[in-house]
């Protein structure tokens, strides 16, 4: 039985399907070493960029020389020797990106004015030590935002999943106020053309797309009680998700410290 514009979810995962927690993996840079530019900021942050030779540019960053993580380059441009990269930086509020650039013979990192830095190029033995001894790893952001909503009392309902490079899915559900989010044990996940249902031991978080108005709504169902939620765009609210909710500590992105 179904009402107009609504369909019942189809079960696609069960409590028995538990995804193992992935971790950043080593990246082989041997073939790229000759193209490396190694830099550092005043706080010891380490940056390595590989560009030239027709390959896609790659940028790695880490808060120290112990390990650097591949950055997600959203866009890039160049003019002569100058270039700049826009990078995934989810702690920045709104839909904003980090920036790594070389202009007027100066390397810089820009994080919307909150953690900007002029970078110093390392050469000779210092650069070689970074390339030989530093661990080069895939992106440090293992979990990415999937759904976000809140009720009228300021309680947030949030679902994340593994980043695509780590296999996707691996959903988790969190409920609570900013800085006090609690992970809810997930029992079932359902998904179809009408939306998604995330079943926990204490309630179902339901995302439903109404085909009549193409409007996305979310409902928290606990027993006989239904709470209609305000649906929030995860891109626009990335600063809330990755900073204010208090779920994530280290992300390994260029603008982690904002």
Same domain, 183 and 111: no
What is the 8-class DSSP label of residue 53? T
* Domain C-terminal end among 91, 108, 137: 137
CATH of the domain at 154: 2.40.128
What is residue 88's predicted lDDT score, i.e. its pLDDT? 96
Instruction: Using DSSP, state whether 91 is helix, strand or coil.
Output: coil
pLDDT tens for each residue of 11-29: 333 433 456 889 999 999 9
- Cβ neighbours of residue 183 closer than 8 Å, sequence gap 6 or more: 172, 173, 174
Task: Give the DSSP per-residue string, 94-142.
Answer: SS--EEEEEETTEEEEESTTSS-EEEEEE-HHHHHHHHHHSEEES-S--
pLDDT tens for each residue of 223-244: 888 999 999 999 999 999 999 9
- How far is it, in rounded angstroms, from Cα 62 to Cα 148? 29
* Domain C-terminal end among 96, 122, 137: 137
Q: pTM of the prediction?
A: 0.86
pLDDT tens for each residue of 73-117: 999 999 999 999 999 999 998 889 999 999 999 999 999 888 999
Domain enclosing residue 228, as ranges: 11-21+141-244
Same domain, 109 and 48: yes
Same domain, 161 and 127: no
For residues 48 and 38, is the Cβ–Cβ distance under 8 A?
Answer: yes
Buried b (16+ CB within 10 A) or exposed e, 36-70: bbbbbbeeebbbbbbbeeeeebbbbbbbebebbbb
Structure tokens at 172: 């988790």
Sign, Cα dihedral of 125, 115, 138, 244: positive
For residues 9 and 194, is the Cβ–Cβ distance under 8 A?
Answer: yes
* Domain C-terminal end among 137, 159, 185: 137
Task: Give the chain's length.
Answer: 258
Whether residue 3 is contained in a domain is answered as no
pLDDT tens for each residue of 173-229: 999 999 999 999 999 999 888 889 999 988 888 877 665 667 788 999 988 889 999
- Cβ neighbours of residue 210 closer than 8 Å, sequence gap 6 or more: 5, 6, 217
Same domain, 213 and 238: yes
């Amino acid at each position: 039985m179904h009402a107009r514009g609504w369909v019942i979810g189809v079960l696609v995962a069960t409590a028995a399907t538990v995804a193992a927690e992935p971790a950043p993996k080593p990246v082989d840079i041997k073939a790229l070493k000759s193209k490396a530019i190694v830099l550092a900021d005043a706080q010891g942050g380490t940056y390595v960029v590989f560009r030239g030779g027709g390959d896609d540019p790659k940028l790695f960053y880490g808060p120290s020389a112990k390990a650097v993580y591949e950055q997600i380059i959203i866009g890039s441009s160049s003019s002569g020797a100058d270039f700049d990269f826009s990078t995934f930086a989810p702690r920045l509020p709104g839909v904003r990106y980090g920036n790594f650039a070389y202009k007027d013979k100066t390397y810089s990192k820009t994080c919307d004015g909150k953690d900007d830095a002029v970078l110093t190029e390392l050469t000779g033995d210092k650069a070689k030590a970074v390339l030989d001894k530093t661990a080069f790893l895939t992106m440090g952001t293992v979990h990415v935002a999937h759904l976000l909503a809140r009720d009228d009392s300021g309680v947030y309902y949030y679902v994340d999943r593994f980043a695509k490079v780590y296999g996707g899915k691996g959903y988790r559900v969190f409920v609570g106020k900013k800085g006090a989010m609690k992970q809810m044990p997930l029992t079932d996940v359902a998904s179809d053309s009408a939306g998604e249902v995330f079943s926990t031991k204490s309630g179902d978080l339901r995302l439903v797309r109404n085909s009549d108005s193409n409007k996305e709504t979310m409902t928290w169902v606990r027993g006989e009680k239904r709470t209609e939620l305000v649906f929030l765009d995860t891109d626009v609210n990335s600063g809330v998700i990755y900073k204010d909710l208090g779920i994530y500590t280290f992300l390994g992105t260029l603008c982690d410290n904002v």
